[in-house]
A and B are shown apart, each in its own frame.
Chain A
Amino acid sequence: MYDVLVIGGGLAGMTAAAAAAKTGARVGLAGTGPGSFALGSGCIDFDGLLPEGEGTPAVKCLQEAVDFFTTMTAGAGCDYRGELTGKRMLPTIVGTYQPASYAPSSVWVPDPALPGTVAVVGVRGLTGFNAEFIAERLSFQADTLGFLTRYHARMIELPRGGRQSITAYDAAVCMEMEESRRELAAALQPAAEAADLVILPGILGIKVTAGDLGAFGDAVGCPVCEMATMPPSVPGLRVYHHLLEYLQKTGVELNLGHPVRHCLLDRTYCTAVSLATPGRDRLLPAKAVVIATGQVVQEGEPGAAGIDLPFDLRKDGIKVNRQLQPLNKEGAVIADNVYVAGSILGGNNPKNGNAAAITTGCQAGISAAKVVGYNAKK
C-alpha cells in the first residue's frame, strides 16, 4: 500500500513523486516512457506563468517550487542554472535563440548579448548538427538582435568515432568513458584556444554528473556548452536518468512500463490503481494519487488517467480546482484524494510546459502527501 501513487513518469510525475517522498510518505511511481521533456534540452521557461509584480504570494509559490526542483536536480547530479524572473537566450541547432528561465548547467551559456567569441564545433559523421549552418544563422540572429557574441564554425573528428554516420546517442554512449572525454578534450584544444566558449552537440554522456562535466570543461581549458540535438537528446535524457536514480535513492518504488487501466473509485475516494500488466492487471492500492499522464494517450485505454472523465483529454485537458483536484462537468470534485499535474491540465502553452510541470507537480505531490498526514518539510 502506497501513501502516494504517482501516475506518469515525465517531469511533472517525477517532481510530484520527489515532493511527496520528501515529506516522508511511501511513494510509488507508475508510467510508460519518460514523457516529452527528455526529448528536448530540459530547459524551463516561465513565459506567461509569472504574475505581475514581484514578491506577490503567487510568485513566492512559484519560487518555492523552483527552489525544490533546483535542490532536487543538484542532489541528483544534474544541476540547473537560472532565475525565476530572468531570461537567458540559449542557442539551438537551427541557429535560433530559445529563451529560458532555467536550464541544465551544460546547456546554460553565458549571455550572448555580451561580447564573446564562440566556437560552434561540429563532429564529422554526426547527423543532424551542421556547425557551419548554426554559426552562420546565430551570427545573423545576433546581429539582428544587437548581441555582441560572434560565432565561428569548427569541425573535429570524434576520437574512437571511425564511422560514416553516428547519432548523438551513439557518441554519448562512447563519452560515458572518462578516457573518451579526455581524448575529446584534447581534440577540442585548437577550437578552444581562440574562443571564450565552445559549443558542442549534446554528446557528453548520459550517466555523467555535473562534476564530470565540470572536469571536462577544465580539461578543455575554456567553458563548454551543449546543444540539444534531434531526439534522442542527450541533455534531456541525462536529466531523466539522474532524476530516476534520485527517486530510487529516496525510496520511491518504480513500476514503469505498463499503462494505467483504471483508477478504482469508492464514491469520491480513489482506493487503488490498476496497471495493464501481461496476463492480468496488477492492482496498486494507494491512499492518495497524483495523475500526471501527459498528453500522449494510449490507444484503447479509457483516457490515460483511467478515470472516466467528462472531457476529451486531448482537446480540453482535465479541469481542476485551485488545489488541483479533478472536477466533473458540474464543477464538483471527482475524487478527494486525487491531484492532477503537468500537461494533462488544460490550457497548455507549449513554451512553458516544463515550468508548469514542475510547479504543478510539486504542488500535487505535497497535497497528496498531506491527505495521508505528511507535511512538507522546509
Chain B
Amino acid sequence: MRKNERNLDNCLKCTYCNTVCPVLKANPIYPGPKRLGPELERFRKSGVDSVTDWVDYCLGCGQCNLVCPNGVQVAELIAGAKFNHHKRGKRMMRDSLLARPGLLGRLGTLVPPVTNAVLGLRLTSHLMSGTMDISENRKFPPYAAKRLSSSPGVAEGKERLLFFPGCFAQHNKPGVGDAAIKVLELFGYCVEVARTGCCGLPAMANGNAKEMQARARHNILSLEKAIGGGHKIVVACTSCGHTLKCHYPHLFEQDKHLDELAQQVAANTFDLGEFLLGLESQGESGRRPGNVELSLAYHAPCHLKAQGIGKPWLSLLARIPGLRVVDVNAGCCGIAGTYGFKKEKYQLSMDIGRDLFDGLKKIKPDVVVSECATCQMQIQDGTGFAAAHPVEILYRAFNQTAF
C-alpha cells in the first residue's frame, strides 16, 4: 500500500469521509472511516493494540477515498487493518469460504443441477446459518452449466481483445458474458475469454491478504502474454475492473516483474461501458440499436464511481430508441459482495440500501440495470424488481435490427 505510507499525514480531520459512508449513515454506532482509517492507523503503525471488529463492517465501497480533499486512501487503510484482523470459529470458516468464490464456482459448476437443488433446500440455508453464520434470508445465485466461449478463430484484420469474465459471468450467469462478447464482436473485435479466475476482491473484503495476492498473481501471469501483445482487457463487472485498476498496482512492491506487469494490467483494463463509449466517441458506432420498449432505472455501483469514468451506460443506453432510462442516483445498495450474506450484517445491508429501494419504488421501472452482479441481487431482494446488466439490454437492442 505504497500510496498510504506517503499520505497518512494528509488527513486534515475535515470528516467529509464520514458524511459519505453508507455504513455510518445506517448505523451511527459504527466508528466511521475517519476513526477506523487514518486515526487508528497511527496506533496500528506504532504497534499499539487497536484491534476492533468494526473494521469488518467496512463495505470497501471506496466513497471515502473519493470525497477526501487531500488524497488519503481511507478505504485502503481499513482494508489493511482487515488483513491483520484475525477471526475465530464459525466466522473464520465462513469468511475463508466466501473469500474464494472462484473455487466455489468451480465446484458448483461440476454438476450444477445438484448444486442448485442442494442450495435451494431450506435445510441447506438452515445449516449454513447455524454452522457458518450465513443469513437465511439470502439465496445463493444458481450455478450454470454453460461455459463462456471466445470468438471463433482469429479473423483477418480484426483487433483482439481479452474479456476478463469474473466469477459471476463465469459460473452463475454466462448470459452476461455472452452478451458482452457478442456486442464487442459487433463492433468488429475478436474476443478471447481470458483464462483468469476470481479477481481477488472477495478475498480482500474478507480480510485474506494471502488469497488476494495469490489470485492477483495468477491473473496477472495469465494476462502477461496478452499485455505483451498490446491487447486490451475488457471487464463487464465493475468490482473486478476496480480491483484490476486500483488494487493490483499496490500488491507486488517486493517483486519488480509482477509489479510492472500489474501496472500494465491496470493501464490496459477497460470497463465494458467505458470501452464501448470510447469507441463511439471515436466515431465507430457499430450496428445501430433497434427499438426496445422498456422503462429502466439505472443504479451506478460504488466501484464504478471509484473508477472515475463517469456513468458510461447512461450515454450508451440513451442511444436505444424506445428505451426510457432514469438514473436513480440514490447511493450504495448495501450488499458489497459477500458482506450482505453474513448473518450479523444482513439487516445492516438492507438498511443501507433503503434509500435506493425507495428511489426505485418511486420510479417503478420494468427492469433495473446495474453493472454489478451483487448490486442486482440486492435490488431484486430489496424491491422485487427484475435486475440485469445493461449490456443485456444493449445486446437485445442490437438483435432487433436485422443482420
Contact = CB atoms under 8 A, between A and B. Distances in A.
Interface in B247-277: 266-269
Given A169-B19, A253-B310, A296 B65 contact: no
Contacts of B25: 173
A278 B307 contact: yes
B299 interface: no
A277 B306 CA distance: 9
Contact of B66 (A32, A232, A298): A32
Interface stretch (A109-117, A255-263, A311-319, A363-371): A255-263
A231 B14 contact: yes
Interface in A285-326: 294, 296, 298-301
A329 interface: no
Interface string B299-312: 00000011111100
Given A232-B19, A277-B307, A279-B245, A163 B13 contact: no
Contacts of B29: 163
A163 B28 CA distance: 10
A258 B308 contact: yes
A318 to B, nearest CB: 18
B19 A279 contact: no
A257 B10 contact: no
Interface string B112-123: 000000000000
B15 A257 contact: no
A166 B66 CA distance: 25
Given A296-B69, A299-B71, A231 B306 contact: no
A278 B306 contact: yes
Contacts of A300: 6, 71
Contacts of B70: 32-33, 296, 298-299
Contacts of B67: 32-34, 256-257
Nearest to B263: A279
Interface in A199-247: 206, 231-232, 237
Contacts of B346: none
A288 to B, nearest CB: 20
Contacts of A298: 10, 70-71
Contacts of A255: 308, 310
Interface string A33-52: 11100110000000000000
A278 B246 contact: yes
Contact of B309 (A35, A231, A277, A294): A277
B245 A278 contact: yes
A258 B308 CA distance: 7
A277 B308 contact: yes
Given A231-B14, A259-B71, A278-B245, A237 B19 contact: yes
Interface in A62-84: none
A170 interface: yes
A8 to B, nearest CB: 10
Interface string A144-160: 00000000000000000
A280 B7 CA distance: 20
Given A33-B69, A278-B246, A278-B266, A170 B28 contact: yes
B148 interface: no
Nearest to A230: B15
A237 B20 CA distance: 11
Interface in B319-333: 329
A66 B263 CA distance: 48
B399 interface: no
Contacts of B246: 278-279
B242 interface: yes
B6 A33 contact: no
Given A33-B69, A257-B67, A299-B7, A231 B308 contact: no
Nearest to A10: B69
A170 B28 CA distance: 6
Given A166-B28, A232-B18, A296-B12, A280 B306 contact: no
A299 B6 CA distance: 9
Nearest to B10: A299
Interface in A255-282: 255-259, 275, 277-280, 282
A258 B67 CA distance: 9
Contacts of B16: 33-34, 38, 231-232
Given A173-B25, A296-B70, A282 B19 contact: no
Contacts of A301: 71
A250 B70 CA distance: 28
A254 to B, nearest CB: 9
Contacts of B242: 278
Given A231-B14, A232-B16, A256 B266 contact: no
Nearest to A282: B308
A46 to B, nearest CB: 25
A282 B309 contact: yes
Contacts of A258: 66, 308
Contact of A173 (B14, B28, B269, B310): B28
Contacts of A34: 16, 67, 69
A257 B268 CA distance: 21
Contacts of B305: 257
Nearest to A257: B66
Nearest to A277: B308
Contacts of A299: 6-7, 10, 70-71
B221 interface: no
B68 interface: yes
A248 to B, nearest CB: 8
B15 to A, nearest CB: 5
A232 B269 CA distance: 37
A143 B233 CA distance: 71
Interface of B: 6-7, 10, 12-16, 18-19, 25, 28-29, 65-71, 242, 244-246, 266-269, 305-310, 329
Given A279-B266, A279-B307, A301-B71, 9 more contacts: A32-B66, A34-B16, A34-B67, A232-B19, A257-B66, A257-B308, A278-B246, A279-B246, A280-B267
Closest 10 CB pairs of A and B: A33-B69, A257-B66, A277-B308, A279-B245, A278-B245, A170-B28, A258-B308, A279-B266, A278-B246, A298-B71
24 contacts: A32-B68, A33-B70, A34-B69, A35-B69, A38-B16, A169-B19, A206-B19, A231-B15, A231-B16, A237-B19, A248-B329, A253-B310, A256-B66, A257-B305, A275-B308, A277-B308, A278-B308, A279-B307, A282-B308, A298-B10, A298-B71, A299-B10, A300-B6, A301-B71
